[in-house]
Chains A and B, each alone.
Chain A
Amino acid sequence: MKVMMNMLAEKVEQMMEWSSRRSMIRMNGDKFRRFVKAPPRNYSVIVMFTALQPQRQCSVCRQANEEYQVLANSWRYSSAFSNKLFFTVVDYDEGADVFQQLNMNSAPTFMHFPAKGKPKRADTFDLQRIGFASEQLAKWIADRTDVQIRVFRPPNYSGTIALALLVSLVGGLLYLRRNNLEFIYNKTGWAMAALCVVFAMTSGQMWNHIRGPPYAHKNPQNGQVSYIHGSSQAQFVAESHIILLLNAAITMGMVLLNEAATSKGEVGKRRIICLVGLGLVVFFFSFLLSIFRSKYHGYPYSFLIK
Chain B
Amino acid sequence: MHGQELHLDNFKGDFLNIFIFLHPQIPDIQIVPAGWQSLLSFTILFLAWLAGFSSRLFAVIRFESIIHEFDPWFNYRSTHHLTTNGFYEFLNWFDERAWYPLGRIVGGTVYPGLMMTAGLIHYILNLLHVTVHIRDVCVFLAPVFSGLTAISTFLLTRELWNQGAGLLAACFIAIVPGYISRSVAGSFDNEGIAIFALQFTYYLWVKSVKTGSVFWAIGCCLSYFYMVSAWGGYVFIINLIPLHVFVLLLMQRFSRRLYIAYSTFYIVGLVLSMQIPFVGFQPIRTSEHMAAAGVFALLQAYAFLQYLKDRLTRQEFQTLFFLGVSLAAGGVFLTVIYLTYTGEFLFATFNTKPSLPPMLRYAKIHIPIIASVSEHQPTTWVSFFFDLHILVCTFPAGLWFCIKNINDERVFVALYAISAVYFAGVMVRLMLTLTPVVCMLSAIAFSSVFEHYLGDDMKRENPGSVKQHPFYPVKNISVYSKPIVTMLMLMLLMMFAVHCTWVTSNAYSSPSVVLASYNHDGSRNILDDFREAYYWLRQNTDEHARVMSWWDYGYQIAGMANRTTLVDNNTWNNSHIALVGKAMSSNESAAYEIMKSLDVDYVLIIFGGVIGYSGDDINKFLWMVRIAEGEHPKDIRESDYFTPQGEFRVDKAGSPTLLNCLMYKMSYYRFGEMQLDFRTPPGFDRTRNAEIGNKDIRLKHLEEAFTSEHWLVRIYRVKKQENRQALDHKFRNIAAKQKFTSKKVLPSRFH
Q: How far is the CB of B366 from chain A (nearest CB, A)?
A: 11
| A interface, over-half SS | helix
Q: Is A109 an interface residue, CB under 8 A from the partner?
A: no
Interface with B: A35-43, A56-64, A70-78, A228-236, which one?
A: A228-236
Q: Is A206 an interface residue (CB 8 A)?
A: yes
| Chain B interface mostly | helix
Assembled-state Cα–Cα distance A281/B489 (Å): 9
B499 touches A188 (CB 8 A): no
Q: Which of A250, A255, A261 contacts B393 (CB 8 A)?
A: A250
B residues within 8 A CB of A271?
477-478, 481
- Are A194 and B378 touching (Cβ within 8 A)? no
Report if A122 contacts B (CB, 8 A). yes
A240→B381 contact, CB < 8 A: yes
- B378 CB contacts on chain A under 8 angstroms: 204, 206-207, 209-211
Contact with A along B485-528 (1 / 0, CB 8 A): 10010011001001100100000000000000000000000000
CB of B281 closer than 8 Å to a CB of A = no
Q: A233-B380, A292-B385 are in contact. Are A191 and B478 (CB under 8 A)?
A: no
- Asked if B401 CB lies within 8 Å of chain A CBs, one says yes
For residue A201, which residues in chain B have a CB less than 8 angstroms away from its CB? 421-422, 424-425
Indicate with 1 or 0, residue by residue over B421-442, a CB within 8 angstroms of chain A CB atoms: 1101110000000000000000
Q: CB within 8 A of A203: which of B381, B397, B502? A: B381
Given contacts A191-B399, A207-B380, contact A246 B417 (CB under 8 A): no
5 more A-B residue pairs beyond the given contacts A206-B378, A258-B448, A292-B386, with a C-beta to C-beta distance below 8 A: A194-B417, A202-B425, A234-B380, A254-B449, A299-B502
Complex interface: stretch among B171-179, B467-475, B543-551: B467-475
Judge whether A138 is part of the interface by a CB distance below 8 angstroms: no
Q: A194-B417, A267-B477 are in contact. Are A187 and B492 (CB under 8 A)?
A: no
Stretch from B305-313, B639-647, B704-712, B713-721 at the A interface = B639-647
Contact partners of A121 in chain B: CB under 8 A: 644
CA of A247 to CA of B382, assembled, Å: 13
Q: A129-B639, A201-B425 are in contact. Are A301 and B394 (CB under 8 A)?
A: no
Choose from B392, B397, B475 the contact partner of A267 (Cβ within 8 Å).
B475
| B390 part of interface (Cβ distance < 8 Å) | yes
Can you list 24 pairs linking A and B with CB atoms under 8 Å apart?
A: A129-B646, A191-B404, A197-B418, A198-B396, A198-B421, A204-B379, A204-B425, A207-B425, A232-B382, A233-B382, A235-B382, A239-B381, A251-B394, A254-B449, A258-B448, A262-B452, A264-B470, A267-B475, A267-B478, A270-B477, A278-B488, A281-B488, A282-B488, A303-B491
Q: Is A90's CB within 8 Å of the partner chain B?
A: no
B453 interface residue, CB < 8 Å from A?
Answer: yes
Report the separation of the CA atoms of residues A120 and B390 in the bound assembly, to the nearest whole angstrom. Answer: 58
Task: Give Cα distance in the complex from A264 to B471, angstroms.
Answer: 10
Interface size counted on chain B using CB atoms at 8 A: 56
| Chain A positions within 8 Å of B426 at CB level | 206, 210
Q: How many chain A residues touch the partner (CB < 8 A)?
A: 62
Evaluate contact between B381 and A204: CB separation under 8 angstroms: yes
**A51 on the B face (CB < 8 A):** no
Q: Contact between A247 and B477 (Cβ–Cβ < 8 Å)?
A: no
Alpha-carbon distance A260/B448, docked complex (angstroms): 12
Residue on B nearest A207 in the bound complex, by CB: B378
Chain A positions 279 through 306: 1 when the CB is less than 8 Å from some CB of chain B, otherwise 0: 0011001001000100110011101000
